[in-house]
Structure 1
Amino acid sequence: VSWLAMLFSNLSQPYLSYGIYNEGLKRWLYLAVNAVLAYYAAVYFTDDKNRNRFLLITFWAGMIASVYGIFQYFGVEFIWPKVLNPFGGRSVSTFGNPNFLSSYLVLLLPLLVVIVCQPALSKTRRTFYFTLLTSYIAALICTLTRSSWVGAVVAIAMTITILWKYESELFARSKKIIAAVGVIFILLTVGWPKSSIQGYNPSMMERLAETKLAETNYYGAWHQRRLIWSCAWHMINENPVLGKGWGCFELFYPFYQGRHLFLESYRNFRTHANNSHNEILEIWSQTGTLGLGIYLWFLITVLGYGFHLIKNLTGQKRLYAIALLSSLVGMWVDNLLNVSLHFAVPGFLYWWNMGLLVSLGNSEEKTIDIAKPAKQALLWLLIIIGGAAVLRYGASFMAEVHYFKGFKLSKRDLIQAAIPELEAAHNLQRLEVNNNYELANCYARGGLRDKAIYAYKESLRANAGYDEIYFNMATVMAQMGKTDEALPEYTRALYINPLSLDGYAALGSLFLQKPELYGDAGISLFKQCTFIFPQNKDVWNNLGYLYTRLNRNEEALAAYKKSLEINPDFDLAKRNLRITLARLGKKDREFEESDGLFRSVEDAIVAKNWGKALPDCERLVKLTPNSFKARFYMANIYFTVGQVERAIAEYKETLK
């Protein structure tokens, strides 16, 4: 309902209507495969005969992923020709992201704990499962994912607590085994070494200690999440009942982020957030209070049913119920700071575990009689929907093949060869932002400007939240002389990303061309730019120029002075300052003195009159300490007169 409400309310929007449809459909397909089908398969196709086999499959998958991740942590790569890890020393295994591997292991650890506690287990099998457990804990440490560490501790603690409560006899017999699990955990936690991968590679204890940085510094892991949460909260405030539409967080997020980037605490943490990094805000921002209420109702129902099973089941089924429920709770805790519930592999296992939990209870079926024609119609409808999904995924796969071919050709500057590949990808999957953007850039680089603008618009239909798309499209429009069309696109780019100096320069250049029309707008633009980039001499000079054109000479004077304060060697600002002083009938003694000293020093250097050059240059450096030219002259003079130590010190200041 939230998705449809947002879709219909934006049908008139040229880009958002497509994006809402596209992003929402992706989320629906994700739910269909990873939630509905995984849950359904676990509920209806597992029983007492095959349940252990299914669990063993996931255990083996977890072990392979864990061992591979551990080897990655120590710089050993089996699959790729070299270590390919954008996360530094954090292991990703086959998951692509350390946070996904860690959540997968959180879901498996409680099951291993209850299995090793079973009294009927042979010594060989218990050793095997202890080996699995050890590899899982080690791999979990290798991910350096703190939210999953907390989730794992909560899940295991919950497992042990419920065992003590409902399986007191087993708990008493398993104290040594549980203690052994604790010893393994402590030894690995304390003794596990740093990764041998270059780059970011803290130990576990150093990773935990990093959290203290948030008390005294701007710390990315904390402040970037605060930035994302703030944007999610704005979405909730704006649409409290139904949210911004299911699956649309990534689409709308950039339009809320820009306003926060004026705060120093968030300025260095700009991101393109796929998810909110908090499960409550994730659901609330997209489906509103109604959706969050239903979601919490669902989770409470799962929790209640899980405890119902624990109270009423016996033997191995009760142990599995304890472990599966604990694994779900661990995943919920993990996703208060993580996003793994919404990505395929950990998300699949989460819903699979939930289905396994439900399958432990008595199945109650209700048969609904459907007339034969209706049955056939429903069957054909499901076949058509399934076939359409297969075709879509097949087309999506082939589109990715063409996209990566085209992308590699583009990066090798083989534009004419890249375009057909990217066009093929676009034909197979129209609303894919990365491919459309690359195609548009290739058109632009190849001089096909009309096609470039069309492809940029296709990119925005796929996802309208990327400032670089608006910027590049505006640039092509400006090159075609379509200034009136370029202006709003540059403005949108800056609204999304107010940290783009190129954006200010491009939009500002259009304002500077017609100051009689855009003078006030240009002044507002450059004043905003000086807030973000206070040490940029060109911005202050441009601001001064617009003040001059609007005959606001006092403000122009202040702007030119600021430009020269940043760079006393900026000749254009010097010339503008002289003109403005003349207009105002004023004199600036400090400016005139430094200007005179520059001429005097240069004349003395030409004449090799070092006795005059030295004291004049020392006075000049005191007046203009930020002047590269003055300090360079000073260093050269010191060197020439034999004061080598002072020359070296001055050269160092010059380099600064």
Structure 2
Amino acid sequence: MGAHKETAWAEGALGWGPRSQQVLKLGVLLLLLVVPLVYGGSYLSDYFTAKFALLYAGIGLLLAIWLGQHAGSERIRIERRSYDRPLVVYAAISFFSLFWAVNPLQGLETWFTQIWLLAFFLLVARFFSSSRALWGALWTIALTSFVVSVIGLLQYRGIHLVPLAYGHWGNFGVSTLGNPNFVAHYLELSIVLIAGMVLARRRLWEKVGLGALLLFEIYYLLMTRSRGGWVAVGVGLFALHLLYRPQSVRRILLAGALIIVSMGAVGAAVGKGVPTESEQSLFTDALDQVRAVRDRALSSFDPNHFSVLQRRLIWADTVALIAEQPLLGVGTGNFAFLVPAYRTVTRHRAWAELIANRPHMPYYAHNEYLEVWAENGIFGLAAMLWLLSTLWWLAWRHLQSVTGQDARALQAGLLAALCAALTHSLVSLNLQDPTSALHFWLIAGLAVAGSHGATGSARVWVLGGLRRVFFFVAAVPAVVGVYWGLGVLVADYYYFDGQRKYYDFNQPNRASLAFAQATEWRAHDFRYHHMLGLIKMQGRHPVEATRILSRAEELHPNNAPALRLLGQGLYWSRREEEAIAILRRAIALDPLEVEPYSMLARALHDRGLRRQGEGDGDGARASFMRAIDRWQQALAFAPENVDFLRSLGIEYFSVGSIDDAEAALVRAAQLSPEDGLIQGNLGAVFLAQGRLAEAEAALVRAAAADSLRAEWRG
């Protein structure tokens, strides 16, 4: 009976195998459809979160389906591919770099993201080798990109088919992707693929329809003003031309140019009489758009243009980081935690002038190759380039072996799309954008699926009685992916809910509860601890705030705003030595922020008083002199700050620089003549100078302004 049940179970599992492949292919297409369209709306902090959550859960389920289909087999046969070795080497280097990362849990999450995407690539390469599966993926991309483009272009006209995410307003065509550059990350792939589809299809109506979609998406790409996207598409289309090569391409390009010119002439004639919302004709409006595109393109050659200078500053910081740690890097996913320490004062000034009140440090290098080098060292970069070049070489070899112009056009389109993405990755973060990263690895899988890159060798594992155990093991990636995606989603929901309650509704207690719940789901995210510590500080709970902010400092040791709060909390907790060390780090990380200078000066003053009480006169004087330096630095930012001037005068008096104390206090008194503390200290200075009448007058004013202080009355 037991043997019969075992046989029946095995037969059922074997029967599930073919069905599971269909389910797996359908799941891949569903991800291609949903990931670009889903976003958090008014419930999440950014457009990435929901996409990543769906990606984690979806790929985890796909892996479970793939592993589950082997549960009824006696043995598993895995063919070795040419890309296996560089893939494993890259994954291993990326993982081992976590051992010296400052935030290994954040790095582990980033590493798992890489592994999930690489696993997705392997699934596509294994199951999408047929022409039908390939066309299914391409048509899904074409349909989804059309929907994304319609939503985005209508947004430019003030028609919002989907609500903008919280904090976004105006008629910006970000569609469901969240940023014009993220739109370009996606469109540069879809445009090149659709161009390949135009060449591959034989029916005229399909060519016309796909050609219209191609022009439609190119127009949307131009509207995004993404110069990196424009260059990437240009490189991709040029690569498509070189790779496909038949004479028919030239005829198609010539016919396309004639169609565009004809459509433009007809549109100009019709559009002259059609008004727009700005009371201009469509023709005039179109000319304005052309001029805007031209000006945007020319701005690429302006080294001081906003986005150009921004990237130059980020790249300079990144290169400085790499120069210090070129071999091993700082650890996967830890670039953002280390790069702030490498910004010079000159670059701080340039950045402050450029972005004003925006955040002062980037999270990405805006160059995928530099970021990999910074995180995984030169060996990690070499492994990544090895993997990418192997994939490109396999796809190229497959292009040379395919027969038929249709198949050649599709393979050329896949290779050209990879070229477009790798070009844009020189100036952006498209391989970390969940939508474009998913599509990049899909395209890589499709490009090598035909040949598989088989080496002719394989490894076989005999399962035997472990088949049932293997079936349950197959559920592990599904559980991990779903829980991981849910954790990211729920944590970000609470984090964003806390931000709204704190900043928009002035409900710090409720915001504190929300941030605490966010830390329960993702305890390694420094942002949650930072916000929780901020609320505790503003609620005058320095001891608790210090404990929370110390954890934020462990997770992100170079987060200047959190260090400023931590230094303040330590000072209020009467731990001035620790406060001094933290505040010095905060100043080094952001030397243009005035607050830590004044806080550090107060901490140094308190240290001086303590050493004075201990009988260490030299130590006390040294502390007071350092405090004077900090007050002078603070006054360089705010030369008429009364508090700074008064404190500087007191410090000068403490070290016996009576004339300097008088100058600072007189200036403070001119700015705030009713300040009793200024008048009282000015009276003490006059007494020290022997100017008794002026001292008496100042002390009388001090007693009148601040009658509770007995010292003014002598």
| CA 1:532–1:278: 2 relative to 1, 3 Å | farther
CA distance in 2, matches of 1:129, 1:395: 40
Choose which of 501, 506, 518 in structure 1 pairs with 2:599: 506
Query: Contact 1:105 / 1:136 at 8 angstroms: preserved in 2?
Result: yes
Query: Contact 1:227 / 1:266 at 8 angstroms: preserved in 2?
Result: no
Q: Deviations over 1:43-85 (max 9, x none)?
A: 4234112211211111111111111111112222122279953
SS of the residue corresponding to residue 49 of structure 1 reads helix
Q: Deviations over 1:1-41 (max 9, x none)?
A: 5556554346xxxxx3xx2x122122112213333314532
Counterpart amino acid of residue 353 in structure 1: I
Query: 2:546 matched to which residue of 1?
Result: 453
Counterpart amino acid of residue 304 in structure 1: W
Query: Contact 2:192 / 2:416 at 8 angstroms: preserved in 1?
Result: yes
Counterpart amino acid of residue 29 in structure 1: F
| CA 1:477–1:442: 2 relative to 1, 3 Å | same
Query: Contact 1:89 / 1:195 at 8 angstroms: preserved in 2?
Result: no
Query: 1:369 matched to which residue of 2?
Result: 460
Choose which of 449, 459, 473 in structure 1 pairs with 2:566: 473
Choose which of 119, 135, 146 in structure 2 pairs with 1:52: 135
| CA 1:6–1:163: 2 relative to 1, 3 Å | closer
CA distance in 2, matches of 1:413, 1:135: 45
- Show the 5 A alignment for 1:207-286: 207-211=296-300, 213-214=302-303, 218-257=304-343, 259-261=345-347, 263-264=349-350, 268-269=354-355, 271-286=360-375
CA distance in 2, matches of 1:501, 1:543: 15
CA distance in 2, matches of 1:447, 1:552: 36
Structure 2, unmatched stretches of 5+, are 1-91, 268-281, 609-619, 692-714
1:145 shift after superposition: 0.9
Say yes or no: does 1:292 pair with 2:292.
no
Query: 2:701 matched to which residue of 1?
Result: none
Counterpart amino acid of residue 523 in structure 2: R
Query: 1:398 matched to which residue of 2?
Result: 490
Query: Contact 1:193 / 1:203 at 8 angstroms: preserved in 2?
Result: no
Structure 1, unmatched stretches of 5+, are 11-15, 587-656
* Corresponding residue pairs, total: 564
1:152 shift after superposition: 0.8
- Show the 5 A alignment for 1:323-402: 323-361=413-451, 364=454, 366-372=457-463, 383-384=475-476, 386-402=478-494
Choose which of 110, 114, 134 in structure 2 pairs with 1:31: 114
Q: Deviations over 1:492-520 (max 9, x none)?
A: 32222222112222222323445536223
Query: Contact 2:315 / 2:365 at 8 angstroms: preserved in 1?
Result: yes
SS of the residue corresponding to residue 134 of structure 1 reads helix
Choose which of 392, 396, 413 in structure 2 pairs with 1:307: 396
| CA 1:55–1:209: 2 relative to 1, 3 Å | same
1:284 shift after superposition: 1.4
Choose which of 229, 235, 241 in structure 2 pairs with 1:154: 235
CA distance in 2, matches of 1:54, 1:379: 28
Most deviating of 219-228 and 35-44? 35-44
CA distance in 2, matches of 1:475, 1:195: 56
Choose which of 180, 183, 197 in structure 2 pairs with 1:115: 197
- Show the 5 A alignment for 1:77-92: 77-80=160-163, 85=168, 90-92=172-174
Of structures 1 and 2, the one with the larger relative CO (CA 8 A, separation 6+) is 2
1:360 shift after superposition: 3.0
Q: Deviations over 1:588-635 (max 9, x none)?
A: xxxxxxxxxxxxxxxxxxxxxxxxxxxxxxxxxxxxxxxxxxxxxxxx
CA distance in 2, matches of 1:184, 1:580: 86
Choose which of 503, 507, 511 in structure 2 pairs with 1:414: 507
CA distance in 1, matches of 2:374, 2:284: 39
Query: Contact 1:95 / 1:101 at 8 angstroms: preserved in 2?
Result: yes
What do you get for the CA RMSD once the two structures are aligned?
Answer: 4.0
Choose which of 239, 244, 256 in structure 2 pairs with 1:163: 244
CA distance in 1, matches of 2:287, 2:166: 13
Query: 1:96 matched to which residue of 2?
Result: 178
Counterpart amino acid of residue 248 in structure 1: N
Identity %, equivalent residues: 20
| CA 1:448–1:139: 2 relative to 1, 3 Å | same
Most deviating of 250-259 and 234-243? 250-259
1:242 shift after superposition: 1.4
